[in-house]
Amino acid sequence: MSVAASSIKFGTDGWRGVIADEFTFERLALVAPIAAKVLYDTYFSTAGSRKIIVGYDRRFMAEDFARVVANSVTAIGFDVLLSDSYAPTPAFSWAAKQLNALGALVVTASHNPGSYLGLKVKSAFGGSVPPEVTKEIEALLPAGLPPATTPGKLEHFNPWPSYTTALEGKVNISKIRDEIKSGKLTVFVDVMHGAAAGGLPQLLGEQVREINSDRDPLFGGGAPEPLPKYLSHLFAQIKTHKVANSAGLTVGLVFDGDCDRIAAADADANFLSSQILIPILIDHLTLRRGFTGEIVKTVSGSDLIPRVAALHNLTVFETAVGYKYIADRMLAAEVLLGGEESGGIGYGSHIPERDALLSALYVLEAIVESGLDLGAYYRHLQQQTNFHSAYDRIDLPLASMEVRSHLLKQLQTQPLTEIAGQAVIDTQSIDGYKFRLADNSWLMIRFSGTEPVLRLYCEAPTLDQVHHTLAWAKQWAE
């Protein structure tokens, strides 16, 4: 196997690497045609075409890398629709389904720091391909490029109009626009220099207050990930606005680099992750839209999710971490909503793909139709379910993959029976190890599949308990 081939490994959602090191034109020109061939082998019977959508985000040279994808895929006989601008990844997933394509190849590194780029492979049905598809791509890499043939056609398209029109039809768009225009609702949105830029203003008007909408491939020195440590500018603007305008509702929305993850902030600039937004969305969509179906959550999702689902007599299905597992379930069952702890939320009424812009519209609809601030809505659900909790997560770098292997073996051979002074009363191993503790808290220990990183998740009755348990887990790992 060549160096180029051996470096290409797909994680939970695509292949990513450092630009000019792991991620190069050479490697991309190898993997893209093979990915196109596997999409053809998998989805031609469904799509009935040889069409591939190619898109990109706003990272360094993303459009140049996208042209490499387009040219290498047309060289082996596929027709390519190449985006003429950046757009959210779910816009390209939508295009794949709407245009009967074999799938989409999207040049993006999602929420990773600015030194990274990557490739996401999307299916004909408009969602992440299942693990067996990416495994097949990896298996074909050592054989090298498929043979050149009569080149396919290369055409350009604008992904935005069809996508935004589809989203407008999902919500009471006129009511949201009216509330914003009248000043009854103030919407701040931090697009984190990413592909969501311009999205909500297109949908809701220029009164939407966009933050960090310029193209900055270094992302202000951070990463385009919707986490509190990167959102000080958003929080400051909300607080300033509150001092000057005490009347009306205020919300902050946050999108990651390719706009498939969402977070929010309430009127007091409190950070609200998808662990809070998912229960709010379940309640809103069932109460006010009459939606039904199964709720799909990853194993790292909050315990509030099944409690709110129970309020509406909805069943809950749990998967491993990674939206492709949720997408698989969405194809197999009638699903209302599928969501993950890291911010990805999708809907059975749309495509089996996480979509942050659609989630934002549903969040805004929940606010205007309930008349509640997001923080108040969350507290209302806590009271209804009699469940109060706090949540946090740590991504802990390890010294090496050998240390990772040692810790994994330790968990397998010496099961934990006590954590942070609390007895372990149940253990799940759907994805990593999730330990339920005697004080109604849980700790999840999960290893990255591609790098020496340990992911630690905890939910407990209080934030102090969360921090105490995470500190214990960090000390255990070290």
The neighbouring-strand residues paired with 51 are: 79
Please, what is the Cα angle at 141 between 103 and 325, to 5 degrees? 45
Predicted local distance difference test score (pLDDT) of residue 337: 98
**CA end-to-end distance (rounded Å), the chain:** 35
296 Cβ contact list (under 8 Å, min separation 6): 316, 317, 318, 319, 326, 329, 330, 335, 337, 338, 339
pLDDT tens for 30-66 read 999 999 999 999 999 999 999 999 999 999 999 999 9
Compute the mean pLDDT over every residue in the chain, rounded to the nearest whole number. Answer: 94
SS3 label, residue 54 = strand
Domains and their CATH numbers in the chain:
3-161 (3.40.120.10), 169-385 (3.40.120.10), 390-477 (3.30.310.50)
Compute the distance between CA of residue 121 and CA of residue 108 in angstroms, rounded to an integer.
Answer: 10
Residue 67 has pLDDT above 50, yes or no: yes
Predicted local distance difference test score (pLDDT) of residue 1: 44
pLDDT tens for 348-394 read 999 999 999 999 999 999 999 999 999 999 999 999 999 999 999 99
Residue 476 CB burial class (10 angstroms; 0-12, 13-18, ≥19): middle
Query: 346 with 326: CB under 8 angstroms?
Result: yes
Predicted local distance difference test score (pLDDT) of residue 274: 96
b/e map of 3-42 (b: 16 or more CB within 10 Å)? ebbebbebebbbbbbebeebbbeebbbbbbbbbbbbbbeb
Q: What is the value of pTM for the model shown?
A: 0.95
